[in-house]
Structure 1
Amino acid sequence: MTKWTVRDYAPADETPWLRCRVLAFLDTTYYDDVATAKPQREAGLQLVAVAGDELIGLVDASVTGQEATIETIAVHPDHRRMGVAQGLLDEVCGRLQARGATQVDAWTRDDEGTLAWYRSQGFEQRMRYLHVYASDPDEAGRAFGPRPDLTPRFGFFHAWTDHEDALRKEFGRVYSCRQFVKPLGLTPGDR
């Protein structure tokens, strides 16, 4: 097993951070969420897991008063199932609690392994809506409606779940976006 540690993100980590995130998301429903520069977070935490000189995992979280959000958590595919995500989550939750946060939330899509992992960490699903993609000109044209001055090529939409079946029939890419929430200071067995 590879020995790894968690430390604060440094500006020199940007390129390996981007690579790790892309590779971690590639086999998930977030495969299309590609960043070409690391998003900057105000009042947040940015941590990375490293094995030697290699960045193998990352977590970014934002804090607003007593509420915090995990903006990104990812583990390089070659380093999964080694406790890296658990280590990153434990560290970031401890630091968030030290900053006064009493709960943390995270948003994710339909990946069963990811959903099971969040649940195993004491998160509970609070809400859900849909990410709907018009992935080709025909879907985009139907979504936008006729406009002689615009030719839609693709689109990304948020939708509520009250007409999910119809949207899934009309569009090839529809994902559930789920908010999971966890109170800080409790372990999964405390509930």
Structure 2
Amino acid sequence: MPIVIRSYEPADETSWLRCRTLTFLSTCYYDDVWARRPPSPAVQLVALDGDDAVGILDIEIDGDLATIDTVAVDPDHQGRGVASALLTRARSELPGTVSVVDAWTREDEPALEWYRAHGFAESEHYLHVYKTWEDTDAGWESPSGLSAPLTAFCHASVQDEPELRGRFSRVYVCRRFSRPVTAK
């Protein structure tokens, strides 16, 4: 049965969540798990193999900017052009006012290569820093009566990368990729 790309429907939620979770497990976003799908994206697409979502793409729109919020392909279907087909369909659904599509991603080489192969250029950078219970870093103060944070997610400047990588086990460069809508 061929893969069908169509707009997301509420009945797709469980399959959508499963696809996103399975995809993210092998990436720097492995703990970005959701129990419910957010309702807001302007463009919401699924790639279906039968009733199973094997690819998903959500895009938020703010004026002339369209931001890819989620793009994921089930690991069993990666390398088959599913994400590319979703992007092509999404481009056709963008309002005429959109002039730029962008996305923010981390250090996963397959994702970086995919954006570059689709004409996205890398520009802005900042850090995602996680403090986990395994990090014994001093400098975290809590209000009286509370333990030190077991987990914290922070943003930081790339200028501080060497020092932060020395203190924390999870530090990622977050990169903005963008491309004009008319570029191929």
Task: Tell me whether the two structures share a fold, i.e. TM-score over 0.5.
Answer: yes
Give the number of equivalent residue pairs: 183
For 1:27, the equivalent position in structure 2 comes to 26
Q: What percent identity do the matched residue pairs reach?
A: 45
Show the 5 A alignment for 1:9-48: 9-41=8-40, 44-48=42-46
Q: Which structure 1 segments of 5+ residues have no match? A: none
Q: Contact (CA 8 Å) 1:137, 1:154: kept in 2 or not?
A: no
Over 3 Å counting, the alpha-carbon distance change for 1:53 and 1:39 in structure 2 is same
1:114 aligns with 2:142: no
Tell me how large the CA RMSD over aligned residues is.
1.5
Counterpart secondary structure, 2:15: helix
1:99 to partner: Cα distance: 3.9
Q: Secondary structure at the match of 1:142?
A: coil
SS in 2 for 1:110: coil
Structure 2 CA distance for partners of 1:131 and 1:41, relative to 1, 3 Å = same
For residues 82 and 139 of structure 2, what CA distance do their matches in structure 1 show? Answer: 41
TM-score by length of 1: 0.90
1:4–1:51: 8 Å Cα contact kept in structure 2? yes
Match in the other structure for 1:133: 130
- Please give the alpha-carbon distance, in whole angstroms, between the structure 1 residues aligned to 2:91 and 2:121: 16
Q: 1:31 offset after TM fit, Å? A: 0.4
Distance 1:72 1:149, change over 3 A: same
C-alpha displacement of 1:68: 0.6
The answer as to whether partners of 2:129 and 2:153 remain within 8 angstroms in 1 is: yes
In the alignment, the residues of structure 2 paired with residue 102 and residue 78 of structure 1 have an alpha-carbon distance, to the nearest angstrom, of 33
Q: 2-side partners of 1:138 and 1:108: how far apart?
A: 24
**1:113, CA displacement in angstroms?**
1.2
**In structure 2, distance between residues paired with 1:89 and 1:16:** 19
Question: What CA distance in whole angstroms lies between the structure 2 residues aligned with 1:106 and 1:78?
Answer: 24
TM-score (norm 2): 0.94
Superposition map of 1:38-187 within 5 A: 38-41=37-40, 44-96=42-94, 98-136=95-133, 138-139=135-136, 142-145=138-141, 147-151=143-147, 152-187=149-184
Aligned counterparts of 2:20 and 2:30: Cα–Cα separation in 1: 10
Q: Deviations over 1:29-60 (max 9, x none)?
A: 11010000001215x11000012222110000
Counterparts of 1:170 and 1:138, CA distance in 2 = 7
Q: Secondary structure at the match of 1:82?
A: coil
Instruction: Give, as a single letter, the amino acid of the residue that structure 1 aligns with 2:75.
Output: P
**For residues 153 and 15 of structure 1, what CA distance do their matches in structure 2 show?**
30
Unpaired runs of 5+ residues, structure 2, are none
Query: Residues 67 and 153 of structure 1: is their aligned pair in 2 closer, same or farther, counting only changes over 3 Å?
Result: same
Residues 122 and 3 of structure 1: is their aligned pair in 2 closer, same or farther, counting only changes over 3 Å?
Answer: same
